[in-house]
Amino acid sequence: MEHSIDAAPGIRLWAEDHGAPDAPPLLLIMGAQASGLGWPDELVGLLAAHHRVIRYDHRDTGRSTWAYDDQPYPLTTLADDALAVLDGLGVARAHVVGMSLGGMLTQLLIADHPDRLLSATLIGTAALSDTPYRHPDGTRTPPEDLPGIDPRILDLWSQPWTDEGQEAELNRRVTHWRLLSGDQLPFDADYFHSLDRKVVAHTGHHRPGDAHGRADHSGMLRTEQLARTTVPTLVISAPAEPVFPLPHAHHLAQTIHGAHVVEIPGMGHALPPEIHKPLATAILDHTAPR
């Protein structure tokens, strides 16, 4: 079922839910400039067998309000929007799964609103902490010195966008997905082309957004709050991750109190069909009643 939620004056968010209305709610938070349809239907279906699964469009994506130029906001506002979605759907507490920027927003919720979370799952993201990573041999590395984004992805991100039509934009997005997927699983270009064709149809245009990249990124650190949280937290480790490569996942688990790590073989910074079942299994194991 689709929903329209007023998150702030002049800001309306698109959302939809799947699964039994009385099942434990599970909120999916996508990454920067990504529509909620970035969570593939197949994965949503696996999770909806046990949960009321909620996915939504961030502001300045999909069918939600695009208004950054008129109403600029700090990146932390997107965490408030996640709460607005829960409030708008009458959800007091939810399991929350966040990917990439969505994983950072989930950490903000862990730190600032733990009473709203039943559990948290973090995928393809970095710790909102300045605590050094502790290597197995006891040495330490500051977070800023951990491995960075694949230079090929940075090069693609740096290229100015020009409107050469919808098909050219879809091809550009497939190239992006190829790099994000890493190099351990076969890449299915047709699958990602179909996924983004659906996103474009849902959005109503093929222009990529850039609001989240321009938003104020300050005020995100939550070192102390994450170190003492009691929110049960799962960190997904992706061995082919090109945006937040290993050991970022293990650094997350070190900085978030009680967190544990599950590796999804072959996974990168994307959600291809090959990882849907193992990822859903890991999430459902984590959210299962204890």
The gap from C-alpha 36 to its chain's centroid, in whole angstroms, comes to 9
pLDDT digits (tens, 9 = 90+) for 154-200: 999 999 999 999 999 999 999 999 999 999 999 999 999 999 999 99
Q: Which CATH architecture has domain 2-149+210-287?
A: 3-Layer(aba) Sandwich (3.40)
Q: Minimal CA–CA distance to 222: which of 151, 120, 81?
A: 120
Model pLDDT, residue 21: 97
Mean pLDDT of the chain: 97
Q: Minimal CA–CA distance to 95: which of 290, 227, 267, 288?
A: 288
List 8's β-bridge partners, or say none: 11
Model pLDDT, residue 184: 98
Phi, psi of 16 (to 5 degrees): -150, 155
List 53's β-bridge partners, or say none: 18, 26
DSSP designation for 115: G
Model pLDDT, residue 35: 98
- Is the whole model's pTM more than 0.95, yes or no? yes
Q: Minimal CA–CA distance to 56: which of 91, 82, 80?
A: 82
Model pLDDT, residue 245: 98
Is 90 exceeded by the pLDDT of residue 290? no
Confidence of residue 246 (pLDDT cuts 50, 70, 90): very high
Which tokens in the block code for residue 170?
A: 């879809």
Tell me how many degrees the CA angle 184-254-81 measures, rounded to the nearest 5: 80
Please state at what angle helix 101-112 crosses helix 77-88, rounded to 10 degrees.
70
Model pLDDT, residue 136: 93
Model pLDDT, residue 72: 97
pLDDT digits (tens, 9 = 90+) for 99-150: 999 999 999 999 999 999 999 999 999 999 999 999 999 999 999 999 999 9
